[in-house]
């Protein structure tokens, strides 16, 4: 029932995204610079929450736009109705809906759906990760120098010592390809799918990473904070790799390389 509801919510929200893509919709700015939200974000979120509440009215919900709908429950749904809103608002089809389910503070299910590429990623704790029902596996690459990486940039503190720009520059100067797609959930899923060997980012919220980090782990990869500790989506730093380049990537993000 949990997974059925999760998949229904993700699919429905993806359809909401498709219906308005490249159309006319209201765009506003939240606190901060280029922190966009569209009326489609709100419509997608409403569709997701309506489905969850219809099946599990007693469950806790944390969503990017509505915040916390607190309930006394062992289950929590973590929702990003559109991850990659700037892409969506500009007609760039690298965006998705991302939903995770926690039980007793552990992420047990995740779904990430990009309706424009028709890619539906699903992960279940202990049972693997799939893309359109095909089992996922991270890459076997063991040399950071020949890896393909992906990252994202916050709109603040870019120039701090050993910050996002400095790390990016060091990697690029070594000839290591680093991409920036604009959707952390897709970045993580593409690590799980073996399209990237690693991902790092300095500032994420729980709704950005809760589903995607489970994808990577269930595809055989490794996800930690920048200190190499067990990852929690409630802290900002993330390093997600195939496991084989993990220490080398952490050395870069920590200024040791």
Torsion angles phi and psi, residue 83, rounded to 5: -90, 120
pLDDT given at position 160: 73
pLDDT given at position 118: 97
Q: How many CA atoms within 13 Å lie on the side-chain side of 138?
A: 34
Write out the two tokens for 36: 């966009």
Domain assignments of the chain as residue spans, ordered by start: 2-135, 144-253
pLDDT given at position 32: 53
pLDDT given at position 21: 84
Relative orientation angle of helices 39-55 and 2-20, to the nearest 10 degrees: 160
**What's the sign of the alpha-carbon dihedral 88, 131, 63, 152?**
negative
Write out the two tokens for 32: 């901060």
Per-residue pLDDT for the chain (257 aa), expressed as one digit of tens each?
A: 999 999 999 999 999 999 988 766 666 565 555 556 678 889 999 999 999 999 999 999 999 888 888 999 999 999 999 999 999 989 999 999 999 999 999 999 999 999 999 999 999 999 999 999 999 999 999 999 999 999 998 766 666 778 888 899 999 999 999 999 999 999 999 999 999 999 999 999 999 999 999 999 999 999 999 999 999 999 999 999 999 999 999 999 998 87
How does DSSP classify residue 229?
Answer: P
Q: Do residues 113 and 122 make contact, with C-beta atoms less than 8 angstroms apart? A: no
Round to whole Å and give the CA distance between 117 and 95: 10
Catalytic residue among 5, 85, 151, 241: 85
50 is catalytic: no
Torsion angles phi and psi, residue 202, rounded to 5: -90, -20
72 is catalytic: no
pLDDT given at position 30: 57
82 is catalytic: yes
80 is catalytic: yes
Catalytic residue among 51, 61, 82, 108: 82
pLDDT given at position 214: 98
- Helix (H/G/I), strand (E/B), else coil: 237: coil
Selected from 3.50.50.60, 3.40.190.10, 3.40.190.80, 1.25.40.10, the CATH number assigned to the domain covering 144-253 reads: 3.40.190.80
Q: Do residues 44 and 16 make contact, with C-beta atoms less than 8 angstroms apart? A: yes
Q: Which CATH class is domain 2-135?
A: alpha beta
pLDDT given at position 141: 97
**What's the sign of the alpha-carbon dihedral 101, 106, 109, 110?**
positive
Nearby residues of 185 by Cβ (< 8 Å), 6 or more positions away:
80, 83, 84, 96, 98, 112, 208, 209, 211, 212
């Amino acid at each position: 029932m949990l997974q059925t509801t999760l998949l229904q919510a993700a699919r429905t929200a993806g359809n909401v995204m498709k219906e308005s893509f490249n159309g006319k919709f209201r765009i506003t700015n939240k606190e901060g610079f280029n922190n966009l939200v569209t009326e489609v974000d709100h419509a997608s979120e409403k569709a997701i929450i309506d489905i969850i509440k219809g099946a599990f009215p007693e469950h806790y919900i944390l969503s990017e736009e509505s915040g916390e709908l607190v309930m006394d429950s062992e289950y929590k749904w973590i929702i990003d109705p559109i991850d990659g809103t700037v892409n969506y608002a500009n007609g760039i089809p690298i965006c998705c809906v991302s939903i995770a389910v926690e039980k007793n503070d552990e992420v047990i299910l995740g779904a990430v759906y990009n309706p424009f590429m028709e890619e539906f990623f699903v992960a279940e704790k202990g049972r693997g990760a799939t893309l359109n029902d095909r089992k996922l596996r991270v890459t076997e690459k063991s040399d950071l120098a020949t890896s393909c990486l992906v990252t994202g940039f916050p709109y603040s503190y870019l120039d701090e010592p050993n910050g996002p720009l400095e790390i990016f520059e060091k990697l690029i100067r070594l000839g290591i390809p680093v991409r920036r797609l604009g959707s952390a959930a897709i970045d993580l899923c593409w690590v799980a799918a073996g399209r990237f060997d690693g991902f790092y980012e300095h500032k994420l919220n729980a709704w950005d990473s809760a589903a995607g980090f489970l994808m990577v782990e269930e595809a055989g990869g490794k996800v930690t904070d920048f200190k190499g500790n067990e990852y929690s989506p409630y802290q900002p730093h993330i390093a997600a790799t195939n496991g084989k380049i993990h220490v080398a990537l952490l050395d870069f993000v920590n200024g040791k390389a």
